[in-house]
Structure 1
């Protein structure tokens, strides 16, 4: 009897320890070194500090509803009411958003880039893969609309976690932009974690996920079941351009296909031939720009009726 009790205790301790490690990986996922991001983008020619710094811009501190400061940069070279907000992926910073901002600056938009909570210069203690981040995005949208007035024409571009955050914002809180571009989002956080547990840890997710979710609810006050863009995608009425690399093995392109299929109303889908996760723009810049142009011309820059 004692041996059976001891074995049960050891097994329980093992799974609790694994769940603790699992939730630590979620809440405190190791970020890329900021100097590495800066050097990577500069060396690839996607960020030219002299050119970018020469643009009319200002740093903005936006208070998060959770008590920290969101650090943003508002770039305004154009006399226009057309703006794009760029939301970066997990482990990245707003420096990674500059390449997308430049894409829209070239098309007559002004741009706002910012660091997610616990990334770059922004505050915040944990990463929640869209749960808390969606409220920060709403705060940023609200701030920009208040700053620029009621005639603002707004788009939001998100990459990876930033794309999931954007879809959660639009589907759960408010469909507050005129268009969205979702680059390699996951469709459901629980499903994404299950895939990574099997792929990276060679474990059965059905055993780890319930314990991990319970710990996450205790430690960070939300459930992974609530981080599900696919469950709210039907609420988004404005146009969405879905983008994914066909060779992505971190977030599978089938997730974007499912989101595209479930989205009602105006939408487009672009599956990039080259590149892995979050590399659609980097590896297919001309095609990426072409598809964005087609999307804007079809749904955003429509000609005025005669």
Structure 2
């Protein structure tokens, strides 16, 4: 009888482990290998951008009609072909903004922010498609952690384009905001002057934990732990190490934090520990009434003013 109980318990444990691993693998595929068909559809992306930004529709039409926005490609050290758009300033300048899009989006959706830098600040703009998005290759979404290494490659491209007078601001939204913060703690070229994070998360772990609860009502243990370990084996990084919070503690350059007061996808509460952890200089703007990644469309005028005022302090 005891042997039978032990055998049954052993079977239950094995089945539980198999179920945990299978569920964790499903989570990785669900989160990091979603359907990005919409991200690949460039024409639809332009139409959506224009429909959501009627105030700059004539500018968008002019850019497309006159083929002002150019394509450029690089091949990463691991052989992945990566794409970006760029637009030179009207007058020659080294001032350049790298603009980083969010989860399952693409570079085109950063063109409303590009309008601020191009038309108000008269900067060059460079808009990469992150891996697995837009016109870039890639096997999975990197949630900003390894994307930051690709952005370093794009910085080198910008230096080739704009020369020794290059001065750079990095501005990201959502996953792009996390990428910006993760990048900010690395050893960066001297031409990088400041950062703008718009609604980035504290870490991939925290974001996935939040979504597991919000979407499925399940706790992080054991699935998130197993998924992180499997992702470490499969893709070379764990969810906890992919931390914006840890990276900003090492950032000495200026950073503007923007977050919607009504954000429940990357909860507004995430921005406060990020802001506290970041050494001076820094600024924080909580946008009343703004949901996730909607700070700009909620208050375009104030968004433009705050970004321009902040960047003008440090892009010298």
TM over 0.5: yes
User: CA-to-partner distance for each residue in 1:196-215, whole Å, 9 max, x for gaps?
Assistant: 11221211202112211111
- Aligned-pair distance for 1:246? 0.6
Equivalent positions of 1:67-78 (< 5 A) are 67-76=79-88, 77-78=90-91
Q: 2:224 aligns with which of 200, 203, 209?
A: 209
- Aligned-pair distance for 1:175? 6.1
Equivalent positions of 1:179-194 (< 5 A) are 179-194=194-209
User: CA-to-partner distance for each residue in 1:3-30, whole Å, 9 max, x for gaps?
Assistant: 3223223222221111011111232033
Alignment-derived partner of residue 15 in structure 1: 20
For residues 40 and 299 of structure 1, the distance between their equivalents in structure 2, rounded to whole angstroms, comes to 33
- Aligned-pair distance for 1:273? 1.0
Equivalent positions of 1:84-99 (< 5 A) are 84-99=97-112
1:269 aligns with 2:284: yes
1:81 aligns with 2:89: no
Query: Mind listing any 5+ residue stretches in structure 2 that lack a counterpart?
Result: none
Alignment-derived partner of residue 46 in structure 2: 38
Equivalent positions of 1:1-306 (< 5 A) are 1=5, 2-31=7-36, 33=38, 34=41, 35-44=43-52, 45=54, 49-53=60-64, 54=66, 56-76=68-88, 77-106=90-119, 107-174=121-188, 177-300=192-315
- Are the aligned partners of 2:254 and 2:281 in contact in 1 as well (CA < 8 Å)? yes
- Are the aligned partners of 1:41 and 1:96 in contact in 2 as well (CA < 8 Å)? yes
CA shift in 2, pair 1:47/1:207, >3 Å:
farther
- Higher mean C-alpha displacement, 55-64 vs 256-265: 55-64
For residues 284 and 231 of structure 1, the distance between their equivalents in structure 2, rounded to whole angstroms, comes to 30
> Which TM-score applies when normalising by structure 2?
0.89
For residues 213 and 70 of structure 2, the distance between their equivalents in structure 1, rounded to whole angstroms, comes to 45
- Aligned-pair distance for 1:57? 4.1
Alignment-derived partner of residue 304 in structure 1: none
Secondary structure (helix, strand or coil) at the match of 2:103 reads coil
For residues 206 and 111 of structure 1, the distance between their equivalents in structure 2, rounded to whole angstroms, comes to 43
- Higher mean C-alpha displacement, 283-292 vs 35-44: 35-44
CA shift in 2, pair 1:175/1:208, >3 Å:
farther
- Aligned-pair distance for 1:94? 0.9
- Aligned-pair distance for 1:284? 1.3
- Aligned-pair distance for 1:193? 1.4
For residues 150 and 77 of structure 2, the distance between their equivalents in structure 1, rounded to whole angstroms, comes to 7
For residues 109 and 258 of structure 1, the distance between their equivalents in structure 2, rounded to whole angstroms, comes to 31
Name the Cα RMSD after superposition. Answer: 1.8
> Which TM-score applies when normalising by structure 1?
0.92
Query: Mind listing any 5+ residue stretches in structure 1 that lack a counterpart?
Result: 302-306
For residues 247 and 40 of structure 1, the distance between their equivalents in structure 2, rounded to whole angstroms, comes to 23
- Aligned-pair distance for 1:179? 1.1
